[in-house]
Amino acid sequence: MTTIEAHDAERPYHETYTHAPHWRSNDEEFDAAKIGMWLFLTTEVLLFAGMFCAYAVFRMMYPQAFANGSHYLDWRWGGLNTLILLISSFTVAMSIHNAQKSQQFWLRFNLFFTAMCGVAFLLIKFIFEYRVKWADGKRPGEWFTYAFATDPHEPIWWSIYYVATGIHATHVLIGVGLLLWLWRRAGKHHFGPNHYTAVEITGLYWHIVDIVWIFLFPLLYLIH
């Protein structure tokens, strides 16, 4: 390994990259990584499916509490966050394209921009939504202190809201971490047409984070 590095010191990592010894080619390794990521995303979908299932059950049990609940949420903040995530989905897809074309500046730009979209999403979520609602007493379960509730089961609505969006926000946070890590590696010219596995599969992950939000947004904010 060291001899190769010394020999190819002037060539960027992505050009000299060769697959791990148990693979037959770079392509097969890349394909396997993608299949692995798709399987992992399947588990993510099933994880959130449990949450959606709980949402459906309680919505059937307490339709009034859920109707009240979605009125408490401001669709404009949710809509803005939806827009931010959609834009970030585009930029992360572009970053894969940039890696394939070896457009190093735009690769770094798009990775960083996507990460910043994630940060913006989280800031909006925490500052303009969680913080305000928590202060109003719109809290989950036994923490609930909101004085003007009209349905006794509103605490359950807030439990579903906080847990579902909280788990999603955790995923966004992890995604931001991954994107910044990629951005740093892209700065060292780790990715190019010959090798961009990490960009590709992180992109897949980022898309699933978006898609989950695409389902959460109407269910929580828009349906009354």
Partner 1 sequence: MTSHDTHAGGHHHEGSYLTPTGGFWATVWNWATTIDHKKIGVMYLFAVLTMFFLGGAAAIALRLELLFPTQVVDGQLTGQMFGAADATAPGPGGKQYNHVMTLHGAIMVFMFIVPGIPASLGNFFLPLMIGAKDVAFPRLNLMSWYIYVFGSIFGVASILLGGVDTGWTFYTPYSTTTDPDQGSRVILMILAAFILGFSSIFTGLNFVVTVHKLRAPGMGWFDMPLFVWGIYSAAVIQVLATPVIGITLLLLCFERVFSVGIFDPAMGGEPLLFQHFFWFYSHPVVYVMILPGMAIISETITCHARKRIFGYRAVAFSSLAIAAISFLVWGHHLFAAEGELIATIFSALTFLVAIPTAVKVFNWLSTLYKGSIAINTPMLYTLAFLFLFSIGGLTGLPLATLATDLHLHDSYFVVAHFHYVMFGGTVIAFLAGLHHWWPKMFGRMYNEFFGILGFSLVFIGFNMTFFIQFILGTQGMPRRYASYVDEFHMMHMISTVGSWVLAAGFLVHLVNFVTSFVIGQKAPPNPWGGLTLEWLAESPPIEHNFDHEPIVTHGPYDYDEYVPPHWDPKDYPLPEPAEGSSH
Q: What is the DSSP letter of 20?
A: -
115 near partner 1 (CB under 8 A) = no
146 is a contact residue toward partner 1 (CB under 8 A): no
Does 153 help bind partner 1 (rule: CB under 8 A)?
yes
What residues pair up with 192 in beta bridges, in sequence order?
195
Q: Indicate the angle between helix axes 154-187 and 26-61, nearest 10 degrees.
A: 160
Site string for partner 1, 42-81 (x = CB under 8 A): xxx-xxxxxx-xx--xx--xx-------------------
What's the rounded Cα separation, in Å, for the pair 157 and 174? 26
Output the smallest distance, CB 141 to partner 1, in A. Answer: 4
**By CB under 8 A, what part of segment 158-177 binds partner 1?**
159-160, 162-163, 167
Contact 222, 75 (CB under 8 A): yes
Helices (H), strands (E): how many in the chain? 9, 0
To partner 1, the closest distance from the beta carbon of 163 in angstroms equals 6
Question: CA 161 → CA 9, 13, 41, 110, 128, distances in Å?
Answer: 52, 44, 22, 31, 15
Which residue ranges make up the site for partner 1 (CB under 8 A)? 20-23, 28, 31-33, 35-36, 39-40, 42-44, 46-51, 53-54, 57-58, 61-62, 140-143, 152-153, 155-156, 159-160, 162-163, 167
